[in-house]
Amino acid sequence: MSPRPPQAMVFPKGDRSAPRTLLIRNPTEKEIVLKLVPSCSRAISIPCPCLMLKPRKYAEVKVTFNPELSERDWRTHHLSVYARAVHPYNVGKLRMWLKGSAVSRRQLVTQLALSLEAIRFSAQEVIVDLPGGAQMWESVTRATPAIDDSDTFTCLPIDGDTQTAVVPAPEELEQAKRTVLEPEPCCWLLGPLLDMLFPPLEPGRGASQMDFQPCAGYASRQPEEEPRDQQA
Question: For the domain that residue 107 is a member of, what is the CATH number?
Answer: 2.60.40.10
Within a domain: 213: no
3-state secondary structure of 220: helix
Within a domain: 133: yes
Does the reported pTM lie above 0.85?
no
152 pLDDT above the threshold of 50: yes
Phi-psi group of 144: left, alpha or beta (phi > 0 → left; psi -120 to 50 → alpha; rest → beta): beta
- Please report the pLDDT score of residue 106 as a whole number: 92
The highest-confidence range among 51-60, 84-93, 151-160, 189-198, by mean pLDDT, is: 51-60
- Please report the pLDDT score of residue 232 as a whole number: 41
Within a domain: 115: yes
> 109 near 134, Cβ under 8 Å?
yes
Question: 102 pLDDT band (50/70/90 cuts)?
Answer: confident
Within a domain: 100: yes
Within a domain: 83: yes
Q: Which residue range is the domain that position 118 belongs to?
A: 8-137
Tally of domains in the chain: 1
Summarize pLDDT for 1-26 with one digit per residue, the tens. 557 889 999 888 776 668 899 999 99
Q: What is the mean pLDDT of the chain?
A: 77
204 pLDDT above the threshold of 80: no
Which is nearest to 21 in space by CA: 66, 53, 69, 62? 62
- Please report the pLDDT score of residue 228 as a whole number: 54
Q: Which residue has the higher pLDDT, 209 or 195?
A: 195
Within a domain: 194: no
- Please report the pLDDT score of residue 156 as a whole number: 64
Within a domain: 219: no
Which is nearest to 115 in space by CA: 13, 6, 5? 13
Within a domain: 162: no
